[in-house]
Amino acid sequence: MSNVLNVALIQTSLVWENPKENRRLLNDKINTITGVDLIVLPEMFTSGFTMKPELVAEPMDGETILWLKQLAKEKNAVIMGSLVISENNNFYNRMVCVEPSGKITTYDKRHTFTLAGEDKVYTAGSEKVIFNYKGWKICPLVCYDLRFPVWARNVEDYDLLIYVANWPKVRIKAWDALLQARAIENMTYCIGVNRVGLDGNNYEHSGHSVVYDVLGNRLDHISENEETIEFVTLHKDAIKKYREKLNFLNDGDGFSLKVQIQ
């Protein structure tokens, strides 16, 4: 149990559909990081947001997962981000949260991005996931999930909401506004990690990775368009203080959620 959580956000460009090169580049960045509890990578960090999963997909015992397990152990930190996983004859845009012990929590992206045809080639997830690390309850979500607040609704009393993304510059105002809204409405720390640079479809990504507190105040100093590693320290006492003082979560409407699998 820890009152503080030290987090590193890696805002980076990605090499299109090249897992080996992305692992090499990210390995160099991660090896500069010390003294953190959690390292967050972007969505599809081994490939960029490709609709050709057969070119880059790996099993859960593949090279990238083995690499992450070794790095997590060396850094004594959780490393998390999404990549393309092949399992049971399906492809998934899967968030993996790899702990130093080797334990892995996975979350399959629930809202596949129909505008890009993601729903045609990737199988949507059906379960919301919360994992506990050092006494912090963490909710991992992926990119397009951000547009659907019911899925993120804080009925589990989680402490930290994390989105990883390949969110294009052309719609970056939505990314900015919705991340702040998710923090405020759920009275939680909210982190968004987005990539920078051009992808293989010539879409530009400007980053805008960010950290918000429970009141929607920004805690980071990340510049747009730049490759960078940002460090933030989160305090659990701040969550408790404002939830007890303001009581907003207890006044929410009750509801049930029916998940339809595509």
Could you give the residue numbers annotated as active site?
43, 109, 143
Secondary structure string (H, E, C) spanning the chain: CCCEEEEEEEECCCCCCCHHHHHHHHHHHHCCCCCCCEEECCCCCCCCCCCCHHHCCECCCCHHHHHHHHHHHHHCCEEEEEEEEEECCEEEEEEEEECCCCCEEEEECCCCCHHHCHHHHCCCCCCCCCEEECCEEEEEEEHHHHHCHHHHCCCCCCCEEEEEECCCHHHHHHHHHHHHHHHHHHCCEEEEEECEEECCCCCEEECCCEEECCCCCECCCCCCCCCEEEEEEEEHHHHHHHHHHHCHHHHCCCCCCCCCCC
